[in-house]
């Protein structure tokens, strides 16, 4: 494996890890405070387009990162839709809501 491939796989792992706090907070607290549904839908569309681009070029690393990214965004959107308008006590206090 070349160093560039190793870096690509490391980047994929970091992206997957980066979603954990957001998805964890959504699931544990059922809280959607601060989520922009427009942004998350745009990230999903961009990820799908980049996956198709990588598939056409047979780029396994980019396909993996975009596949992981799209899956994490779909999970986030599903949970955010399910708990839309819910705000946990911690976020309500942080954002000055009663």
Chain positions contacting Zn ion, by CB under 5 A: 29, 31, 33, 88, 91
Q: Is 2 exposed, middle or buried (0-12, 13-18, 19+ CB in 10 A)?
A: exposed
CB of 30 to Zn ion, least distance (A): 9
Give the C-alpha separation, 98 to 95, whole Å: 9
CB of 38 to Zn ion, least distance (A): 19
Q: Which is nearer to Zn ion, 71 or 86 (CB)?
A: 86
Q: Which is nearer to Zn ion, 7 or 92 (CB)?
A: 92
Q: Which is nearer to Zn ion, 53 or 90 (CB)?
A: 90
Q: Given its phi and psi angles, is residue 36 left (phi above 0), alpha (psi -120 to 50 degrees) or beta?
A: beta
The C-alpha angle with vertex 34 and arms to 30 and 36, in degrees rounded to 5, equals 105
Q: Which is nearer to Zn ion, 10 or 18 (CB)?
A: 18
């Amino acid at each position: 494996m070349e160093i560039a491939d190793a870096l690509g796989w490391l980047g994929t792992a970091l992206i997957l890890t980066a979603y954990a706090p957001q998805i964890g907070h959504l699931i544990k607290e059922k809280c959607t405070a601060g989520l922009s549904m427009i942004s998350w839908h745009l990230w999903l569309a961009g990820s799908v387009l980049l996956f198709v681009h990588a598939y056409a070029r047979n780029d396994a690393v980019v396909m993996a990162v975009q596949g992981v990214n799209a899956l994490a965004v779909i999970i986030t959107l599903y949970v955010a839709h399910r708990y839309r308008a819910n705000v946990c006590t911690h976020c309500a206090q942080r954002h000055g809501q009663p």
